[in-house]
Amino acid sequence: METLIVNVLLTLMMLAVVVLARTRNLFSVIVLSGLYSFLMATVMVALDAVDVAMTEAAVGAGISTVLLLGALHLCRSEEAKPAHKPWLPLAVTASAGLLLVYGTWDLPAFSDPEAPIHKHVAPRYLEAGPSETGVPNVVTAVLASYRGFDTLGETTVVFTAGAGIVALLRRRRRKTADKEAP
Amino acid sequence: MLAHIWSHFDYWAMIFLAMAGLFIVIARGNLIKKLVGLGIFQTSVYLLYVAPGKIVGGTAPIVAEGFRVYSNPLPHVLILTAIVVGVATLALGLALVVRIREAYDSIEEDEILRRDQAPDGGGEA
């Protein structure tokens, strides 16, 4: 039953992406990408990744959509009709996809409890995590306690991106001000 | 064979989404649409990580009385970081698109390349 839910949601996501690739109105593209992100969040709930689902719904479907709409407002653009049919990219991505599918042949089946991913490291966190950190949510325990420095590094990445955006957009404002001055 | 398709469908859906994202990035000329495609590629990787950690019949990795089977928490931690970094790169990319639009008055790749190759040099940047 759980496998059925996940597979149906994944099919819906594939449909959303196909429609998105064929749409040229950028507003529709952005709305479809928001829909895609919400479907992804739902899949994450079905896959027991509730923390990821919450973050994906807030950041992926919320903030990303707002950022894209803001950029669309500043650019006011519609995608131009392509000059020719994209046969070469289609062939490249299709063959790369087939190679990857060939690579999945030997991978463990969905939800196989004997898969290597369930045999190392994770059981140790699940057993000792709550008593060592005092946090029953193991994801939070790993994120904020065991791997706290990684999360600090992540904050540095976000800060760097923010500094880059400020540098890019402030320069723009000063230039327009220069132009207006005699 | 049918059972194999059923139990590996999540991998194939992930591959389809990644390849569709890659296709949008290389085949579409509009820069905003390219960034949406890049985002689809990024989110497909979340599936690649989280789906193998799922155990049917298990529950979310929040330890409580009465539950013995939990899904694997480690992919969730990695992907939480990836989501936040993903939105940071998207924001930076969109800021670059806005700057390109200021300089070239267009966000179509063909138009930008044409103006770059024009002898009088298009754009102020």
Give the residue from B17, B22, B78 showing the smallest Cα distance to B50.
Answer: B78
pLDDT attached to residue B5: 83
Query: For residue A172, is it within any domain?
Result: no
Q: Does B95 map to a domain? A: yes
In a domain, A63, yes or no: yes
A41 touching B, CB under 8 A?
Answer: no
Contacts of B17 (CB under 8 A, 6+ apart): A13, A14, A17, B40, B41, B43, B44, B47
Instruction: Give B38 to chain A, closest Cα distance, Å.
Output: 11
Residues B102, B110: contact at Cβ < 8 Å? no
A161·B91 Cβ contact <8 A: yes
Q: Residue A45: inside a domain, yes or no?
A: yes
Which of residues 59 through 118 in chain B touch A, CB cutoff 8 A? 59-64, 70-77, 79-81, 83-92, 94-99, 101-102, 106-108, 110-111
Q: How many residues does this entry show for chain A?
A: 182
Task: Tell me what the mean pLDDT of segment B52-81 comes to.
Answer: 88
Q: What's the CA gap between A112 and A118, in Å, rounded?
A: 9
Residue with tokens 């994450």: A44
Q: Is residue B125 part of a domain?
A: no
Q: Is A4 a member of any domain?
A: yes
Phi/psi class of residue B80: alpha, beta or left (left: φ > 0; alpha: ψ in -120 to 50)?
Answer: alpha
Considering the domain boundaries, does residue B124 fall inside one?
A: no
A150 pLDDT more than 60: yes
B52-87 burial string, b = 16+ CB within 10 Å, else e?
A: bbbbeebbbbbbeeeeeebbbbbbbbbbbbbbbbbb
> Does A93 contact B at CB distance below 8 Å?
yes
In whole numbers, what is the pLDDT of chain A averaged over residues?
A: 87
Which ranges of chain B does DSSP label H, i.e. alpha helix? 2-27, 31-50, 73-104, 109-117
Calculate the alpha carbon distances from A114 to A140, B53, B71, B74 in Å: 25, 11, 13, 16
d(CA B56, CA B106): 50
**A3 inside 8 A of chain B by CB:** yes
> What are the residues facing B59 on neighbouring strands?
B70
Position A9 in a domain: yes
Does any domain span residue B14? yes
Determine, yes or no, domain membership for A66. yes
pLDDT digits (tens, 9 = 90+) for A101-136: 999 888 888 888 888 888 888 888 888 888 888 888
What is the number of domains present in chain B? 1
- Mean pLDDT over A22-35 rounds to 91
E strand or H helix that includes residue A30: helix A26-46
Does A159 reside within a domain?
A: no
The complex's ipTM works out to: 0.89
The answer to the question of residue B122 being in a domain is no
Residue A165 in any domain: the answer is no
Domain that holds residue A43: 1-78
The answer to whether the beta carbons of residues A33 and A56 sit under 8 Å apart is no
Handedness of CA A149, B95, B103, B26 (dihedral sign): positive
Q: Is the overall model pTM greater than 0.90, yes or no?
A: no
Residue B10's domain spans which residues? Answer: 2-117
The number of distinct structural domains making up chain A is 1
Which of A25, A111, A155, A174 to probe by mutation at the B interface, max B CB count within 10 Å? A111
Task: Assign residue B17 the CATH number of its domain.
Answer: 1.10.287.3510
Q: What is the dihedral of CA B89, B91, B95, B101, to 10 degrees?
A: 100
